[in-house]
Amino acid sequence: MKYRLYAPGPTPVPEEVLVEMAKPILHHRTPAFEKVVAEVREGLKWLFQTSQEVIIFAASGSGAMEASIINTFSKGDQALVVDGGKFGERWWKICKAYGIEYDVIKVEWGHAVNTGEIEKRLKEKTYRAVFVQASETSTGVAHPIKAIADIVKKFDQTLLIVDGITAVGVFPLPMDEWGIDVLVSGSQKALQLPPGLAFAAVSQKAWAFVEKSDLPKFYFSFKTEKKNLEANTTAWTPAVSLIQGLRVVLSNMKKEGLEAIFKRHAKMALAIREAAKSVGLKLFAPESPSDAVTAIYGPEGMDAGKIVKYLRDDLNMTIAGGQDAAKGQIFRIGHLGYYDAMDMITVWSGVEMALAKMGYKFERGKGVAKAMEVLG
Ligand X SMILES: *Cc1c(COP(=O)(O)O)cnc(C)c1O
**Contact set with ligand X (CB under 6 A):** 8-9, 60-62, 87, 133, 135, 137, 163, 165-166, 186
Q: Minimum distance from CB of 170 to ligand X (Å)?
A: 11
Cβ contact 206:185 at 8 Å: no
CB nearer to ligand X: pick between 164 and 367: 164
* Residue placing its CB nearer to ligand X in the complex, 53 or 163: 163
Burial of 183-214, coded b for 16+ CB within 10 Å and e otherwise, reads: bbbbbbbbbbbbbbbbbbbbbebbbebbeebe
Nearest distance from residue 163's CB to ligand X, in Å? 5
**Cβ proximity to ligand X, 52 vs 135, nearer residue:** 135
Q: What is the DSSP letter of 36?
A: H
- How far from 121 is each of 47, 55, 179, 183, 189, CA to CA, in Å? 32, 30, 19, 22, 32
Q: Which amino acid is at 319?
A: I
Q: Least CB distance from residue 323 to ligand X, whole Å? A: 11
Half-sphere exposure of 238 (CA within 13 A, CB side): 31
Closer to ligand X by CB, 59 or 354: give it: 59
Cβ closer to ligand X: 82 or 311?
82
Minimal distance, residue 334 CB to ligand X, in Å? 9
Using N-to-C axis directions, what is the helix angle for 115-124 and 145-152, rounded to 10°? Answer: 20
Give burial (CB, 10 Å; 0-12/13-18/19+) of 363.
exposed
The helix (H) or strand (E) run that includes residue 318 is strand 317-318
The residue among 9 and 179 lying less far from ligand X, judged by its C-beta, is: 9
Beta bridge partners of 296: 283, 331
- Shortest spacing between CB 9 and ligand X, in angstroms: 5
CB of 94 to ligand X, least distance (A): 11
- 358 Rama sector, left if φ>0, alpha if ψ -120 to 50, beta otherwise: alpha
